[in-house]
Protein backbone atom coordinates (compact mmCIF):
# COMPACT_ATOMS: atom_id res chain seq x y z
CA UNK A 1 0.00 0.00 0.00
CA UNK A 2 2.29 2.78 -1.24
CA UNK A 3 -0.53 5.35 -1.12
CA UNK A 4 -1.06 4.86 2.63
CA UNK A 5 2.67 5.09 3.34
CA UNK A 6 2.96 8.32 1.34
CA UNK A 7 -0.09 9.73 3.13
CA UNK A 8 1.44 8.95 6.53
CA UNK A 9 4.74 10.49 5.43
CA UNK A 10 2.96 13.64 4.22
CA UNK A 11 1.00 13.84 7.46
CA UNK A 12 4.22 13.52 9.48
CA UNK A 13 5.91 16.22 7.40
CA UNK A 14 2.92 18.55 7.85
CA UNK A 15 2.97 17.93 11.60
CA UNK A 16 6.70 18.70 11.78
CA UNK A 17 6.27 21.88 9.74
CA UNK A 18 3.32 23.05 11.86
CA UNK A 19 5.23 22.24 15.06
CA UNK A 20 8.21 24.23 13.84
CA UNK A 21 5.96 27.20 13.05
CA UNK A 22 4.34 27.00 16.50
CA UNK A 23 7.75 26.89 18.23
CA UNK A 24 8.99 29.80 16.10
CA UNK A 25 5.94 31.89 17.06
CA UNK A 26 6.38 30.94 20.72
CA UNK A 27 10.05 31.94 20.51
CA UNK A 28 9.09 35.33 19.08
CA UNK A 29 6.59 35.88 21.90
CA UNK A 30 9.08 34.61 24.48
CA UNK A 31 11.71 37.14 23.31
CA UNK A 32 9.20 39.94 23.90
CA UNK A 33 9.28 39.05 27.59
CA UNK A 34 12.62 37.52 28.57
CA UNK A 35 14.91 40.16 27.05
CA UNK A 36 14.11 42.22 30.13
CA UNK A 37 14.91 39.57 32.73
CA UNK A 38 17.94 37.75 31.29
CA UNK A 39 21.52 38.81 30.69
CA UNK A 40 24.61 37.43 28.90
CA UNK A 41 22.84 36.81 25.58
CA UNK A 42 24.42 35.45 22.44
CA UNK A 43 24.42 37.81 19.46
CA UNK A 44 22.30 35.57 17.20
CA UNK A 45 19.71 34.99 19.93
CA UNK A 46 19.09 38.74 19.96
CA UNK A 47 18.80 38.92 16.18
CA UNK A 48 15.83 37.92 14.04
CA UNK A 49 13.61 36.58 16.86
CA UNK A 50 13.85 39.95 18.62
CA UNK A 51 13.02 41.83 15.43
CA UNK A 52 9.88 39.75 15.01
CA UNK A 53 9.14 40.11 18.74
CA UNK A 54 9.12 43.87 18.28
CA UNK A 55 6.75 43.53 15.32
CA UNK A 56 4.48 41.22 17.34
CA UNK A 57 4.39 43.63 20.28
CA UNK A 58 3.63 46.58 17.98
CA UNK A 59 0.79 44.65 16.34
CA UNK A 60 -0.51 43.52 19.75
CA UNK A 61 -0.45 47.12 20.99
CA UNK A 62 -2.16 48.42 17.86
CA UNK A 63 -4.95 45.84 17.89
CA UNK A 64 -5.54 46.04 21.65
CA UNK A 65 -5.22 49.85 21.71
CA UNK A 66 -3.38 49.54 25.02
CA UNK A 67 -1.24 52.55 25.92
CA UNK A 68 0.64 50.52 28.54
CA UNK A 69 1.68 48.04 25.88
CA UNK A 70 3.55 50.88 24.17
CA UNK A 71 5.26 51.66 27.47
CA UNK A 72 6.21 47.97 27.71
CA UNK A 73 7.69 48.21 24.20
CA UNK A 74 9.73 51.29 25.15
CA UNK A 75 11.16 49.55 28.23
CA UNK A 76 11.77 46.40 26.17
CA UNK A 77 13.68 48.41 23.55
CA UNK A 78 15.89 49.97 26.23
CA UNK A 79 16.62 46.53 27.67
CA UNK A 80 17.20 45.11 24.20
CA UNK A 81 19.79 47.79 23.39
CA UNK A 82 21.54 47.17 26.72
CA UNK A 83 21.55 43.39 26.14
CA UNK A 84 22.75 43.85 22.55
CA UNK A 85 25.73 45.96 23.66
CA UNK A 86 26.51 43.41 26.35
CA UNK A 87 26.26 40.55 23.81
CA UNK A 88 28.74 42.26 21.49
CA UNK A 89 31.12 42.85 24.42
CA UNK A 90 31.06 39.17 25.53
CA UNK A 91 30.71 37.66 22.04
CA UNK A 92 33.75 35.40 22.35
CA UNK A 93 32.68 34.04 25.74
CA UNK A 94 29.08 33.01 24.96
CA UNK A 95 27.49 30.75 22.33
CA UNK A 96 25.96 33.03 19.70
CA UNK A 97 22.57 31.28 20.08
CA UNK A 98 22.52 31.39 23.89
CA UNK A 99 19.20 32.90 25.02
CA UNK A 100 20.43 34.54 28.18
CA UNK A 101 21.02 33.76 31.81
CA UNK A 102 17.90 34.07 33.94
CA UNK A 103 19.33 36.01 36.86
CA UNK A 104 15.95 36.75 38.53
CA UNK A 105 14.66 33.18 38.38
CA UNK A 106 17.98 31.70 39.55
CA UNK A 107 17.32 33.19 42.99
CA UNK A 108 14.65 30.51 43.52
CA UNK A 109 16.42 27.39 42.24
CA UNK A 110 19.85 25.92 41.47
CA UNK A 111 19.27 24.82 37.87
CA UNK A 112 19.17 27.16 34.89
CA UNK A 113 16.88 24.74 33.06
CA UNK A 114 14.41 24.78 35.98
CA UNK A 115 14.69 28.54 36.25
CA UNK A 116 13.78 29.00 32.59
CA UNK A 117 11.19 26.24 32.33
CA UNK A 118 9.38 26.61 35.67
CA UNK A 119 10.31 29.66 37.73
CA UNK A 120 10.29 32.27 34.93
CA UNK A 121 6.86 31.23 33.63
CA UNK A 122 5.47 31.34 37.17
CA UNK A 123 6.94 34.81 37.75
CA UNK A 124 5.56 36.02 34.41
CA UNK A 125 2.13 34.52 35.23
CA UNK A 126 2.13 36.28 38.60
CA UNK A 127 3.07 39.57 36.95
CA UNK A 128 0.38 39.03 34.31
CA UNK A 129 -2.22 38.26 36.98
CA UNK A 130 -1.29 41.41 38.92
CA UNK A 131 -1.48 43.54 35.77
CA UNK A 132 -4.79 41.87 34.85
CA UNK A 133 -6.18 42.69 38.31
CA UNK A 134 -5.00 46.32 38.03
CA UNK A 135 -6.57 46.65 34.58
CA UNK A 136 -9.93 45.27 35.71
CA UNK A 137 -9.91 47.50 38.80
CA UNK A 138 -9.27 50.51 36.55
CA UNK A 139 -11.94 49.40 34.06
CA UNK A 140 -9.41 48.86 31.24
CA UNK A 141 -9.56 46.12 28.64
CA UNK A 142 -7.12 43.28 29.51
CA UNK A 143 -6.47 42.37 25.85
CA UNK A 144 -3.21 44.31 25.79
CA UNK A 145 -0.40 43.90 28.29
CA UNK A 146 -2.18 41.52 30.73
CA UNK A 147 -2.96 38.92 28.07
CA UNK A 148 0.47 39.38 26.49
CA UNK A 149 2.12 38.54 29.81
CA UNK A 150 -0.28 35.73 30.69
CA UNK A 151 0.39 34.10 27.32
CA UNK A 152 4.05 33.99 28.35
CA UNK A 153 3.15 31.45 31.03
CA UNK A 154 2.66 29.01 28.11
CA UNK A 155 5.24 30.17 25.56
CA UNK A 156 8.21 30.35 27.95
CA UNK A 157 8.10 26.69 29.08
CA UNK A 158 7.30 25.54 25.52
CA UNK A 159 10.37 27.23 24.06
CA UNK A 160 12.63 26.05 26.87
CA UNK A 161 11.25 22.50 26.68
CA UNK A 162 11.94 22.29 22.95
CA UNK A 163 15.42 23.75 23.45
CA UNK A 164 16.22 21.23 26.20
CA UNK A 165 14.90 18.33 24.11
CA UNK A 166 17.07 19.41 21.16
CA UNK A 167 20.11 19.67 23.44
CA UNK A 168 19.50 16.17 24.87
CA UNK A 169 19.17 14.79 21.34
CA UNK A 170 22.46 16.44 20.36
CA UNK A 171 24.18 14.90 23.39
CA UNK A 172 22.70 11.47 22.55
CA UNK A 173 23.91 11.79 18.95
CA UNK A 174 27.40 12.73 20.16
CA UNK A 175 27.46 9.74 22.52
CA UNK A 176 26.25 7.43 19.75
CA UNK A 177 28.96 8.75 17.42
CA UNK A 178 31.58 8.20 20.11
CA UNK A 179 30.41 4.60 20.68
CA UNK A 180 30.35 3.90 16.93
CA UNK A 181 33.85 5.28 16.61
CA UNK A 182 35.10 3.10 19.48
CA UNK A 183 33.45 0.02 17.91
CA UNK A 184 34.98 0.84 14.52
CA UNK A 185 38.46 1.13 16.05
CA UNK A 186 37.94 -2.16 17.93
CA UNK A 187 36.73 -3.92 14.73
CA UNK A 188 39.65 -2.48 12.77
CA UNK A 189 42.12 -3.70 15.38
CA UNK A 190 40.49 -7.14 15.45
CA UNK A 191 40.50 -7.45 11.67
CA UNK A 192 43.97 -6.10 10.96
CA UNK A 193 45.69 -7.23 14.14
CA UNK A 194 46.77 -3.95 15.59
- As for how many domains the chain has, the answer is 1
CA–CA gap between residue 155 and residue 174 (Å, rounded): 29
pLDDT digits over 148-182, tens only?
999 999 999 999 999 888 777 777 878 877 878 87
| The pLDDT of residue 109 | 85
Res. 96: pLDDT tops 80: yes
Task: Give the domain range for residue 58.
Answer: 2-192
Determine how many CB atoms are found less than 10 A away from the CB of residue 85. 10
Among 84, 92, 82, which residue's Cα sits nearest to residue 46?
A: 84
The residue-averaged pLDDT of 121-140 equals: 96
Amino acid sequence: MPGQHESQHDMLQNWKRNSNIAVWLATIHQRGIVVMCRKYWGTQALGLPCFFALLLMMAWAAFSRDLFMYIWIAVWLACFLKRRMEAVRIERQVDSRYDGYSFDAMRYCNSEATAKRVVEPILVAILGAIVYWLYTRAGLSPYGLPYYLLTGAFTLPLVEGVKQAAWKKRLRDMRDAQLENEMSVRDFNDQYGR
